[in-house]
Amino acid sequence: MALKIPAALLDQLRRHGEQTYPYECCGVLVGEFDSAGRKTVKAVVPCGNTRTDSPQNRYHIDPSELVRIQREAMLAGSDIAGFYHSHPDHPAQWSVTDLAEAHWTGCSYVITSVENGRAVLTNSFQLQDQVKDKDFENEVIEVSN
């Protein structure tokens, strides 16, 4: 599957990771699913990282904040298309913890690596329901204007 995102929104989520460096940023991607399951991002909603025990390598979005974002998205005819967070001084690859804490099947999980305060790579992974367990599948990011 693919995640379509306007260049300005991709830039916005990457900048968020630079702003919170050396801590992780996190947020929600609001968008639309087409009939084939492809996602188009319409808005990037930055969230506060509520993890205080280990904000360098953990992120957590307040559930009540997530409920509010979902409600507003649905009122606008959109849905939650995915989530994003940053990996300060770590590769843009999902971790075992990322997979364990991901629950939204079909959604995109976007990770940006931030090295020395600068956003480097941004990758997207779609959470898949598997026979035995869930898994992340690499996903193409299609940048539009």
Interface residue list for Zn ion (CB under 5 A): 95, 98
Region of residue 75 (left: phi > 0; alpha: psi -120 to 50; beta: else): alpha
5-23 burial code (b ≥16 CB/10 A, e <16): bbeebbebbbebbeebbeb
- What the block records as the tokens of 90 is 């770590």
- Cα–Cα distance measured from residue 10 to residue 14, given in angstroms and rounded to the nearest whole number: 6
Q: How far is the CB of 139 from Zn ion (least distance, A)?
A: 16
Question: Closest CB to Zn ion among 78 and 113?
Answer: 113
Q: How far is the CB of 58 from Zn ion (least distance, A)?
A: 8
Question: Closest CB to Zn ion among 32 and 95?
Answer: 95
Q: How far is the CB of 88 from Zn ion (least distance, A)?
A: 10
Region of residue 14 (left: phi > 0; alpha: psi -120 to 50; beta: else): alpha
Question: Closest CB to Zn ion among 70 and 95?
Answer: 95
- What the block records as the tokens of 3 is 């995640």
Question: Closest CB to Zn ion among 17 and 31?
Answer: 17
Q: How far is the CB of 136 from Zn ion (least distance, A)?
A: 11
